[in-house]
């Protein structure tokens, strides 16, 4: 066998190996993107469900005697209050004169 032919065969084998690995990596990447989108959708669904449950609990449409639920509702209420205060402070800063700061 000629050295040139041997060299070409090795290069072709290496190219095929790299091509195969690239195809695997691409397939895995596509699956990971799909999993990421699915995970984001799951997170959004849980968040929306949580908001609906919290509203139903506040409105008395749903009763759930569970200490963890009560603790989470207090945490949500505290965060909502904090965000409202922060929003007010930001608006006060935005619409004040520089000398008032």
Distance CA 24, CA 3 (A): 32
Q: Is the model's pLDDT at 71 over the cut of 80?
A: yes
User: 96 — alpha (psi -120 to 50), left (phi > 0) or beta?
Assistant: beta
Q: If you average pLDDT over every residue of the chain, what do you get?
A: 92
pTM: 0.63
Half-sphere exposure of 56 (CA within 13 A, CB side): 11
Q: Provide the pLDDT for residue 1.
A: 55
In degrees and rounded to multiples of 5, residue 96 shows phi and psi of -100, 165
Residue 44: which pLDDT band, with cuts at 50, 70 and 90? very high
Q: Which two tokens stand for residue 27?
A: 């397939």
**Contact (Cβ atoms closer than 8 angstroms) between residue 68 and residue 76:** no
Sign of CA dihedral 10, 13, 14, 15: positive
């Amino acid at each position: 066998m000629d050295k040139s032919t041997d060299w070409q065969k090795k290069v072709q084998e290496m190219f095929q190996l790299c091509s195969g690995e690239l195809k695997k990596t691409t397939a895995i990447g596509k699956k990971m993107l799909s999993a990421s989108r699915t995970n984001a959708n799951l997170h959004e669904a849980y968040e929306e469900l949580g908001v609906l449950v919290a509203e139903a609990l506040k409105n008395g449409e749903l009763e759930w005697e569970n200490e963890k639920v009560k603790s989470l509702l207090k945490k949500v209420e505290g965060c909502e209050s904090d965000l409202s205060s922060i929003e007010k402070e930001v608006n006060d800063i935005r619409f004040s004169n520089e000398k008032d700061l």
